[in-house]
A = this chain, B = another copy of it.
Amino acid sequence: MLEFTVEDLSAEEIARMQAIYEPLAISVRQLVDATIRSEVDAETVAAVKADIDAATARLRSKQIDGAFGVRRTPSGQSMSWGNAVIGLRNPIAPPLVIHRDDDGRRWCDFHLGAAYEGPPGHVHGGVSALVLDHVLGEAASPDGKPRFTGSITVRYLRACPLGPLHSEAQITRVDGVKTFVSGYISDVEGITVEAEGVFITPRWLRD
């Protein structure tokens, strides 16, 4: 059902591709922010729009069919470059850079700006759920093999302000194909949102 593409790429080739495409995504993230916040006049907006349409046409002159997918190398390196949360080529992704401690805990420090707003000046509750789904999912996969969310419960303790944030998660229990994980998002004053999830080992990874 899920097709992970295997590509025979060397570490050097992957680094070369990253050097080409990552800066573009970083620039488009800035454009996304400016698109929301700009107050320039109608003529300037129209001129900028024409430039963007031309840029899009140039990029589309050669493009893959459909979404980026998840590409793996024979050595096991995974390229989730299109991922909505961590994808380095995806301007929608903050992107999160998730670290792993020796004890299996996963954590990241990140910044959410205007593009992630729900209530005025605050993170959209669904964006908090998006971040937590991903961080908990990474914690559920200590061996690097994917686990998929079975269910997740997110509890909102208080409104989460836009700006610098932290998230972390760890496994609390494993029961057969089910891995139980808990985690949270915090700002400088403490936890704003917490979550518990049950992650399932896919059939094709079971013994």
Contacts and interface: CB of A to CB of B under 8 A. Distances in A.
Contacts of A53: 27, 30
A148 B153 contact: no
Contact of A152 (B36, B37, B129): B129
B59 A159 contact: no
Contacts of A70: 119-120
Contacts of A121: 2-3, 66-67, 69
B31 A45 contact: no
A60 interface: yes
Nearest to A37: B63
A177 interface: no
B39 A159 contact: no
A49 interface: yes
A205 to B, nearest CB: 13
A134 interface: yes
Interface string A44-77: 1101110111111011111110111110000000
Interface stretch (A7-15, A83-91, A102-110): A83-91
